[in-house]
Structure 1
Amino acid sequence: MEHNSTFPIKLTELDMLRDEASSYLKSIQWEQGQRAKNRDKDAKDESILLYLSRANNGSNALEITSVSKTILALKKRLLPDSIAIPIYLNQTLYAVQEGITLGIWIKDSYYDASGLSSLNENKTALNTDGKREFESKMHTATAFMLFAMAYKILNDLKSYASDDLSVMKQKFAGIPEVSLLSPLKGISCSLFYYDKYLAHPEIVKSDKDVINFTVVYFESLIDEIQQRKSSLEYTETIEDRTYKLENSEFAVSGWSNVFQGAAKSVEFNKIKFEQIVGNRDAKHFARRLTERMLSYDFTAKKNPFQELGGFMPVFMGYGIPGTGKSMLIAAIATRLKEHCDTLDIPFLFHPMPDTLISTFQGGSAEKMVEWMKPLQDPSKLIFAPIDDAENNLQERTAQGVSAGVKEVIGVFLRYTEGAYAVNYGNSSIGLFTNLPEMLDKAVISRVQGRFKIDGARTEHDFLDQDHLWWRKLDDTMPDFVNMEGPENYSYLQDQGLAKNMGEILNEIKKPTEERVHDIYDKVEKQFKSNQHLFYANLYKDMQEAFPFFSSRDVRNIQSAVSLRLTDFDLEEDWFENPDIYFKQDYDTKYNMLQELMRANMKGLDFSEIRRQEVVRYLDNVATIADTDFKRKVDARVNQLNIEREARSSFENDN
């Protein structure tokens, strides 16, 4: 559902609700329901659930609990000698209070927006339908309040919690009951069990555990509410708007649960480009990508390279197995991280997790949205590689493709182009694959930059690849490697970066792929490659041979040519002294780049660049199509051979 309006959550309005929030932390009353009390009667006495169900010694009376008292007691138990409340305990208490405050505000605005306020005022005069509507809206108000409360608490604490919460999740036995009867009951019930868990000696062993447990508990509360939201009515005024907290990135947008900024950078091995042998095209591309991302302007929330046509939100690296895809991913991340550290820019390395495809219907889409959502955060540079992309983005029409893959592709397409696609020029998704022909056609058509990862290719490449291996032996035992080196080559001298794409491509004269070569020759007999009609006819004939070739491909070729026009090095001293360029405002950066671009274009021949890029792209399209076709033919031939063999052995047996 599209959110069409944004409302501010004003800080002054929250200030007025804070006392009410802290009164809930001081004391709430809750009477456990029968079901929660009877849960797990036969389990061993240590069971946390049994402990919770006996929370008030089996009596039915209302029990009064106090979260703030429990936290003070924890402080005495964990840090008996300290006078101040330790930082994590303090932070948690504050976050829970802020969460409740925000929840109350959200509930009040739902009351007004949904007409619940006026039903509430005329409660006594309501007829049967009116009473039903009143109760139904109370449930929805309570659910939305608890959702917003938990969401705010997670937003404030998630980045301080441990990365791995599995130990805490194992101790946690779920929330015995969630009440949605009224806002007061909703808050009392959720704080009652939160408090009981905190007081249990097994749950909190250190002050960090308090944050960890709070995150696990309120994540679970959100899950409980997400499970029930389908039974709630009168949710239109929740789903059609976004509430944004003043002076902050935090927003409540319907029921969507995205921890903005909570995506944590994943660890990676540090690798320099010089350690990767061959792969000139890939290394050059990776270097350009990093320079372009670093040009992003945080104030203007846009990237001057995007305006110049030199930015790639989605790119693809493909090649046979063992040519260095994973090393390349690490090298791009390493380079970005080093520059970001120097320039004091937040960086997020955000690879797609292997566990994305879920067996639950809708589960994969939800996980994919959760993975793609942080890519829309304009406050950091984000590199999001998808390694072995053919696993999660496989051709949807192929036999036996799971529903999960289709869901993932649907989300990918929606977020890379269309109403949801936001690209500020600060994030880039890289597809890396050995089998590009297995990728979904619509996914491939989103790819704006592509390069081969072909590993070692020349005599010098293979020399260097061996050198990287034996020099380790040479370091430990100097005379052990008793072999002669090459005469006119110093190791790794070819592994530096190319000056520009022209250096790599100048040997491309004609397409290598047979079908494209024939089409190219035929068109070349009628037109010269510096005539516009040459390309119009080439595209038309390509489409006849490869029916899926479309205007989208032509646009991709155009953006490849634009990339070449911006294929220049940023000045060395810009990196040494960031004030010259990186720290400038957007317009200054844009003008500096335009000047560099003009200077760079003086030596270029537009029609030649266009020809090279067209040849490169068409070759690529054909390789992918032909490999796919060849694989299908091989599989069919194999099947026929098996059938023939089976028939003959059947006849022999009889």
Structure 2
Amino acid sequence: MSVTSDLMELREEDIRKHYEAAVGMLDGFDHTPRIAKGKGMAPAERSSGLGTRRRFRSTTPGLVTRSTARPEGVHLIERIEGADGEDPLVSPAQANVMNGMRRALAIALAVGENFSEASGLAEMKRENLAGALREDRKAAFSELLAAEALAVLHVFGNTVAYLLAPYMSEVSVEIGEVEEVLTDNAQLALHGTLWELDQDIAAHVSEEARLVPCVCAFAEQLMERVALRAQSAGRLGAFTGARWRVEADDLTINGFTPARAAKGSTLTMTFKKPNEVVGNHIAKYQAMKLSKMLMAYDFDRRLNPFAELGGFIFTFMGDGAPGTGKTTLIQMMAGLVNDYCAVAGYPFRYQNFGIDNIDSYQGKSGQNAKAFIQNVLDPQVIGFGTIDDIDQIAGKRGDRQSSAGQQEVTAVFMEAFAGANTVVRGNCTFGMFSNYPENVDDALRQRAGARFLVDGPQTREDYIDILALLMGKNHDIPLGSHDLYEAQAIKRAVARSFEAHGRPQEAALMNVFDRVQGQVGEMDTIAKLGTYLKAIQEADPRFTGRAIKNITDAVKVRAMDFELPDEWMADPELFLFQTYERKKDMIAALRVPITVEMVVQEINRYAGSEFRYADKSDEVAIEEAVRDMRRMAEAKKRYLEGEG
């Protein structure tokens, strides 16, 4: 991938000149901890006549291993070599960690050097060294040193995690928080970090299989801690306002945003074809459109024309009774995107956040949720994230029955889906699925920009189709008088489904609709539609400005009421490999005008779902109250009988 105009190339010679300093730090240095406490690990025993190094140590390819460290210092190379017991040879995993850390240190030092030159810190360093730094510049000097330290630490953690990601296994290591984050200057900051990493390897790496997971876990924790510190630090503009490209590693450094290796996930799920999804016409149609929308993403611009033109679905909620086809819908959409990406050669990453990600360890559930979000958001992949049974995973705020882990997950999802820092690039989408959406926190549910009612087969034809599909071919039972799958012809079925929303489907909303229509007549102007929206809000106070935004987004999706042609997916040269501007023009040419009917239908669809959730929620609350009253009445009766 070539360097684009908004990137600065971090030249290889500027990185490699820091290799010697990087190896020096890995080989040995002294550090007295200021913040963190040691892990209680005894230092390696050293006797005057017996060496503690291995009988033979192979030279790691490309890594200088001359020792200049004092014996009492931090020796990371030795620590890494000791991860597999007494094997005298350096293993591939150990070599990968050593080379990855040396490379990460060198890149971090090179970025620090760039930051110093761009911010004026380099000149201040020279003045300070000569004793010529003016008094009125000393405060700025200290602030810039701290900013450089934060930048260097984050780049180190970022690069380590990125370079070692391909070597990660299913093994996980919990290391706790990183504490020794020092900001006096870049070198001291790196010494403190490497000292703590040495402590963590000693405490948590009991076998070689835990080495890479431990180092990666440390890198992730370091990035999170440094990014948090950076929120209150100043003079970071020269770092956050620039992007560096390391071509040899295919790495882009973008401020405090973690880089992710552009690696797709290997899917083992059973994919479903669209004709195997019976009923659910609108949900199926929108999922098929969204699958193709994702493929319009431009990896050079890191933006999707649909996100710029309007109509891209970043978050959606699929709700319906158990057994109506939510899992089948997920399998269909994941299969479509997976196949499209295979043709185009794009990395595809699918990830599901399930109930097993809720952890009793304080803060761990939130960390799991953040990792899930970051993996799917990765701008170097096409991503699809699902949260199945979200009513069990994300707790309602204020609900005392929700665990602390569920509350953490709710907070993370709310910030990620519609927070101050949410950026919709159009490379990924998140689907929330639930049998009981009324149990989902109202604010989180409203962050679902689109609603997919997954109601399963509805008509006689649907039930014949699903029976024939599931029966398979190992029988001789005649089909009878029926055109198989004719009812599943998507265009006609969707048109019928949308037309059905010309009037509300929920009784409570229908009352509002009829009342407003009786007052203003046919809803054919913005003013009349606004009157209808206000009447809905008066009937349900939860119908807020966010609901209006979701409705207008859905209308824009309807303006994109077309599927990208199948041949565009089959032959990438026709569309996928075109320039960003060309793709945008091709999409814009397919747009259809927005009509009053579209707006009314989308208002009724969205508001109908909210009324449906409210009715279910109220009914559940009433049933629980009735059960409580019956229990109390029975308890009182038994109590009085006992008294008698």
Q: Which of the residues 157, 169, 172 maps onto 2:164?
A: 157
Structure 2 CA distance for partners of 1:569 and 1:176, relative to 1, 3 Å? closer
Secondary structure at the counterpart of residue 316 of structure 1? strand
- 2: distance between equivalents of 1:556 and 1:232? 33
1:638 and 2:627 equivalent? yes
Assess if the C-alpha contact under 8 Å between 2:551 and 2:603 holds in 1. Answer: yes
Secondary structure at the counterpart of residue 406 of structure 2? helix
Assess if the C-alpha contact under 8 Å between 2:79 and 2:198 holds in 1. Answer: no
Give deviations 1:620-648, integer Å, cap 9, x for gaps. Answer: 22111111111111111111111111111
- 2: distance between equivalents of 1:232 and 1:555? 33
Greater alpha carbon shift after TM alignment, 389-398 vs 237-246: 237-246
CA positional deviation for 1:91: 4.4
CA positional deviation for 1:260: 6.1
1:28 and 2:17 equivalent? no
- 1: distance between equivalents of 2:177 and 2:534? 63
Assess if the C-alpha contact under 8 Å between 1:266 and 1:351 holds in 2. Answer: no
Give the corresponding residue for 1:383: 384
Secondary structure at the counterpart of residue 316 of structure 2? strand
Give the corresponding residue for 2:105: 100
Give the corresponding residue for 2:595: 606
Assess if the C-alpha contact under 8 Å between 1:177 and 1:189 holds in 2. Answer: no
Task: Give ranges in structure 1 of 5+ residues lacking alignment.
Answer: 1-5, 41-48, 80-84, 476-480
Give deviations 1:144-201, integer Å, cap 9, x for gaps. Answer: 7566434422211112322x024xx59xx99999897946854875687799899x9x
Secondary structure at the counterpart of residue 481 of structure 2? coil
Secondary structure at the counterpart of residue 350 of structure 1? strand
Q: Which amino acid aligns with 2:545?
A: S
Structure 2 CA distance for partners of 1:300 and 1:9, relative to 1, 3 Å? closer
- 2: distance between equivalents of 1:311 and 1:70? 47
Secondary structure at the counterpart of residue 451 of structure 2? strand
TM-score (norm 2): 0.77
Secondary structure at the counterpart of residue 382 of structure 1? strand
1:590 and 2:584 equivalent? yes
Structure 2 CA distance for partners of 1:235 and 1:263, relative to 1, 3 Å? farther
Task: Give ranges in structure 2 of 5+ residues lacking alignment.
Answer: 1-5, 53-69
Structure 2 CA distance for partners of 1:58 and 1:454, relative to 1, 3 Å? same
Give the corresponding residue for 1:15: 16
- 2: distance between equivalents of 1:218 and 1:446? 32
Q: Which of the residues 67, 79, 94 maps onto 2:77?
A: 67
- 2: distance between equivalents of 1:193 and 1:9? 35
Give deviations 1:551-586, integer Å, cap 9, x for gaps. Answer: 322232222222222112323432333322222222
Give deviations 1:113-164, integer Å, cap 9, x for gaps. Answer: 59995898499x9xxxx9xx99x999998897566434422211112322x0
CA positional deviation for 1:365: 3.7
1:497 and 2:455 equivalent? no
Give the corresponding residue for 1:213: 211
Greater alpha carbon shift after TM alignment, 611-620 vs 245-254: 245-254
- 1: distance between equivalents of 2:228 and 2:302? 37
Secondary structure at the counterpart of residue 590 of structure 2? helix
> Sequence identity of aligned pairs in percent?
22
Assess if the C-alpha contact under 8 Å between 1:153 and 1:218 holds in 2. Answer: yes
- 1: distance between equivalents of 2:564 and 2:71? 73
Alignment of 1:355-504 (within 5 A): 355-359=356-360, 361-471=362-472, 475=474, 481=475, 484-498=477-491, 501-504=494-497
CA positional deviation for 1:546: 0.9
- 1: distance between equivalents of 2:343 and 2:617? 45
CA positional deviation for 1:498: 3.4
Q: Which amino acid aligns with 2:244?
A: L
TM-score (norm 1): 0.76
Structure 2 CA distance for partners of 1:573 and 1:9, relative to 1, 3 Å? closer
Structure 2 CA distance for partners of 1:485 and 1:444, relative to 1, 3 Å? same
Greater alpha carbon shift after TM alignment, 10-19 vs 558-567: 10-19
Structure 2 CA distance for partners of 1:634 and 1:140, relative to 1, 3 Å? same
Alignment of 1:264-279 (within 5 A): 264=265, 267-279=268-280
Structure 2 CA distance for partners of 1:503 and 1:589, relative to 1, 3 Å? farther
Give the corresponding residue for 1:3: none
Assess if the C-alpha contact under 8 Å between 1:317 and 1:430 holds in 2. Answer: yes
CA positional deviation for 1:436: 1.4
Assess if the C-alpha contact under 8 Å between 2:290 and 2:312 holds in 1. Answer: yes
- Count of matched residue pairs: 600
Give the corresponding residue for 1:44: none
CA positional deviation for 1:512: 2.6
Give deviations 1:328-369, integer Å, cap 9, x for gaps. Answer: 112111110001111112211122243444445544444333
Give the corresponding residue for 1:317: 318
Give the corresponding residue for 1:300: 301
- 2: distance between equivalents of 1:300 and 1:230? 28
- 1: distance between equivalents of 2:565 and 2:220? 50
Give the corresponding residue for 2:509: 516
Q: Which of the residues 28, 47, 54 maps onto 2:45?
A: 54
Secondary structure at the counterpart of residue 539 of structure 1? helix
Secondary structure at the counterpart of residue 498 of structure 1? helix
Q: Which of the residues 529, 533, 538 maps onto 1:544?
A: 538
- 2: distance between equivalents of 1:93 and 1:439? 46
Secondary structure at the counterpart of residue 296 of structure 1? coil
Assess if the C-alpha contact under 8 Å between 1:265 and 1:350 holds in 2. Answer: no
- 1: distance between equivalents of 2:111 and 2:104? 11
Assess if the C-alpha contact under 8 Å between 2:315 and 2:448 holds in 1. Answer: yes
Give the corresponding residue for 1:251: 253
Assess if the C-alpha contact under 8 Å between 1:203 and 1:213 holds in 2. Answer: yes
1:652 and 2:624 equivalent? no
Give deviations 1:436-469, integer Å, cap 9, x for gaps. Answer: 1122222222222212111222223323333334
Q: Which amino acid aligns with 1:576?
A: A
Structure 2 CA distance for partners of 1:63 and 1:317, relative to 1, 3 Å? closer
Secondary structure at the counterpart of residue 22 of structure 1? helix
- 1: distance between equivalents of 2:457 and 2:103? 57
- 1: distance between equivalents of 2:306 and 2:177? 50
Secondary structure at the counterpart of residue 563 of structure 2? coil
CA positional deviation for 1:388: 0.9
Secondary structure at the counterpart of residue 390 of structure 2? coil
RMSD: 4.8
CA positional deviation for 1:90: 5.4
Structure 2 CA distance for partners of 1:363 and 1:414, relative to 1, 3 Å? same
Q: Which of the residues 509, 524, 527 maps onto 1:531?
A: 524
CA positional deviation for 1:95: 1.7
- 1: distance between equivalents of 2:9 and 2:623? 62
Structure 2 CA distance for partners of 1:58 and 1:396, relative to 1, 3 Å? farther
- 2: distance between equivalents of 1:461 and 1:233? 55
Assess if the C-alpha contact under 8 Å between 1:519 and 1:542 holds in 2. Answer: yes
- 1: distance between equivalents of 2:37 and 2:545? 65
CA positional deviation for 1:387: 0.9
Give the corresponding residue for 1:45: none
Assess if the C-alpha contact under 8 Å between 1:364 and 1:404 holds in 2. Answer: yes
Structure 2 CA distance for partners of 1:100 and 1:68, relative to 1, 3 Å? farther
Alignment of 1:108-147 (within 5 A): 117=125, 121=129
Give the corresponding residue for 2:340: 339
CA positional deviation for 1:383: 1.0
Q: Which of the residues 580, 599, 606 maps onto 1:617?
A: 606
Structure 2 CA distance for partners of 1:157 and 1:644, relative to 1, 3 Å? same
Q: Which amino acid aligns with 1:160?
A: Y
Assess if the C-alpha contact under 8 Å between 1:66 and 1:195 holds in 2. Answer: no
- 2: distance between equivalents of 1:284 and 1:272? 12
- 2: distance between equivalents of 1:184 and 1:418? 33
- 1: distance between equivalents of 2:176 and 2:391? 37
Secondary structure at the counterpart of residue 396 of structure 1? coil
Q: Which amino acid aligns with 1:400?
A: Q
Give the corresponding residue for 1:203: 207
